Each structure stands twice: as structure tokens, then as C-alpha cells.
Chains A and B, each alone.
Chain A
Amino acid sequence: MYFDSFAELLQMGKHGFYVWTAYGATVLVLLLSWLSARGAFLKTSQRLQQQAELAQRSAQSAQPSEDRT
């Protein structure tokens, strides 16, 4: 490692605040982008799933049951 200790890594000479702010913002942006893309995908696939189940159930109930005749 370039730094002698973990404390020095955090301190980054006198630039710790700037460096860690920039990297923190990056982590935040990438994480939020991932979560929102993933959330949209899950929402859509859940809706499709529900639609499929609903269609299946209505297809089953539309069939005439034998004991009623």
C-alpha cells in the first residue's frame, strides 16, 4: 500500500475530506442507480406474474365443474 497506516489512508494528506466525499458520492450514485433499475424490473415481473396467475384462475373457473351437472 502507498500509505503507512489506515489512519493515513483516511487522512489522505490534507485532502481526505475531498477524496472521500467524491468517492462517497460515487458509491451513492451507483448504488441508487442499481436499486432503482432493479426495483423497476422486479415491479414489472411481479405484475406479469400476477396477471398470469389471474388468467390461470379465471380459465379454471370458466371450465364447467362435473358435480354441478
Chain B
Amino acid sequence: MLSTSLKRLWHKLGSPRWFFALTENWVKAAGLSALVLLLWGAVWGLGFAPADYQQGNSFRIMYVHVPAAMLAQSLYIAMGVAGFIGLVWRMKLTDVAISACLPLGMVITALALFSGSVWGRPTWGSWWEWDGRTVSTLVLFFLYVGIYALREAIADQDLRARASALVAMVGTINIPIIKYSVEWWNTLHQPASFGLTQKPAMPSEMWLPLLVMVLGFYAFAAFIVLVRMRTEILNREMGARWVRDWIQVRSER
């Protein structure tokens, strides 16, 4: 009994139509939270947090660099998980999710690299260092670009879905490498200043703005991924009855 109803829920979760209806009201909520959190965090981090006693004001780059780097990895993990589910259970929605995470993940990884470079110049004395974490993040960027190119090159929708799911899944090997690179190799990157179990290694007026910025970046990602997923669903289901009904309701509003 339970297993059949669970199975039914699992299949419902994979239905584009169900997902589209479910997320109707989430988009605005995610977008508004992102706007408020990002503005709040940026003003706090730029104007109110105290300067670092060693790095001076350049440490304020942390408030965009760290959330960007976290999001770059999270979006890739999301693609890997979606790829796994898509390959095992043949759900349509997972490929929609991959296609929606991909463009944002790519530019956010580029932003993490760029902001790191701009922070590295005054702090390490160089725009670019062949440092373990930097290089593995560069590999992450190439993985995103690779999947993007793959999707552009394959016309057959089913084959494209399976190929990108596979690469997304296999590429998640790189994520623990990014994470543990600061411990495995001699590195310039500082180890994590945060942990779930330990106290942050900086005063609260420095890490609270970071927390707000991280939440803001994740809300922004939720917003963009939702909008892109919904667009992709409409494109794929263009002829369906429920799409026609939806557009009618929308135009009457």
C-alpha cells in the first residue's frame, strides 16, 4: 500500500505539468527574497562590516566570492543528482532541471573565478595562482562548458538528455576534490571559515553579512532555475491541452 502510493508520488514529482502548477507561486517569492537578501547583504558587507586586520578592505570581496563558489558547486551537484535520477527512473523533468541549472552554473563559476582573481591580486600578489582549489574550480567551469557544448551538438532530445545526465553525474567526482583540495595540497586558499559544528573563525559582524549573501545567492538561483524550468516545460509541452488552458487564463488576467 505504502509503496504504491510512494511510487505514485515519485512519478507525480517527475511530471512536468504537476511541477508547473506547483511552482506557480514560488517564482515571485524566490525573486523577492533574493532581491531583499542581496541588497541587505551587500550594503552590510560593503559599508558596515569592519575591515580585516590583515587584508584591510579587500576581504569584502569574500561576500560575493564565497557565495558564488558555493553556488557553483551546488548547481553542479543538483545537475549530477538530476542526471542520476533521470538515468535510473527515466523522468522527463530531470533533463529540464539540468538545462535550467546549466547556464547559471556556468556564469556563476566564471564569477567565482573572476572575483577570486581580483581578490588574489591585492592579497596573494598575483591575479592567478596554480592553486589546488583554483584549478579544480577551473575544471568545474570546463565541465559546465562541456555539457553546454554537448547539448548544443546533439539534436536528438533523448540522446541529449542521456549524454548530459551521464557527464553531469560523472563530473561530480570533481566536487570533493574542490572541497578537500585545501587539505590535500599545499595551498594559498584559506580553509573553510565555517562549519556546521564549529564556531566561525571570525567575529559575528563579519560573518553575518556573509550568511545573508549566501542565502541571497541561493534564493536567486532558485528564482532563475524555476523560471528557466517553467520556460523549458512550456516549450516541450507546447501542444498540450493544459498549456493552452494556462495561456488562456494568463491572457485573461
Q: Interface of A with B (CB < 8 Å)? A: 1-3, 9, 12-16, 18-19, 21-23, 25-26, 29-30, 32-34, 36-38, 40-41, 44-45, 47-49, 51-52, 55
- Contact status A37-B231, CB under 8 Å: yes
Smallest CB-CB separation from A16: which chain B residue? B57
Smallest CB-CB separation from B239: which chain A residue? A51
A47: B residues at CB distance < 8 A: 238
**Total CB contacts across the A-B interface at under 8 A:** 102
Q: Which of B87-119 contact A (CB under 8 A)?
A: 103-104, 107-108, 110-111, 114-115, 118-119
| With A29-B108, A29-B111: A13-B51 Cβ-Cβ less than 8 Å | yes
Q: Classify the secondary structure of A's interface with B.
A: helix
A55 to chain B, nearest CB (A): 8
- Contact status A2-B247, CB under 8 Å: no
Of the residues B47, B60, B111, contact of A25 by C-beta under 8 Å: B111
B199 to chain A, nearest CB (A): 23
Known contacts A41-B227, A41-B228, A52-B248, then 14 further A-B pairs from the complex at CB < 8 Å, ordered by chain A residue: A18-B61, A19-B58, A21-B118, A22-B61, A25-B111, A26-B68, A26-B115, A30-B38, A33-B104, A40-B228, A44-B234, A44-B235, A45-B247, A48-B243
B105 to chain A, nearest CB (A): 10
Residue B4 interfacial (CB < 8 Å): no
Of the residues A1, A15, A37, A40, contact of B47 by C-beta under 8 Å: A1
Of the residues A15, A34, A55, contact of B57 by C-beta under 8 Å: A15
Residue B157 interfacial (CB < 8 Å): no
| With A22-B115, A25-B111, A25-B115: A33-B224 Cβ-Cβ less than 8 Å | yes
Smallest CB-CB separation from B250: which chain A residue? A45
Most chain A CB inside 10 Å of its own CB: which residue of B42, B49, B114, B118: B118
| With A15-B57, A30-B220: A2-B50 Cβ-Cβ less than 8 Å | yes
A5 to chain B, nearest CB (A): 11
Smallest CB-CB separation from A21: which chain B residue? B118
- Contact status A2-B49, CB under 8 Å: yes
| With A29-B107, A29-B108, A52-B244: A19-B57 Cβ-Cβ less than 8 Å | yes
B143: A residues at CB distance < 8 A: none
| With A25-B111, A49-B247: A34-B224 Cβ-Cβ less than 8 Å | yes
- Contact status B107-A23, CB under 8 Å: no
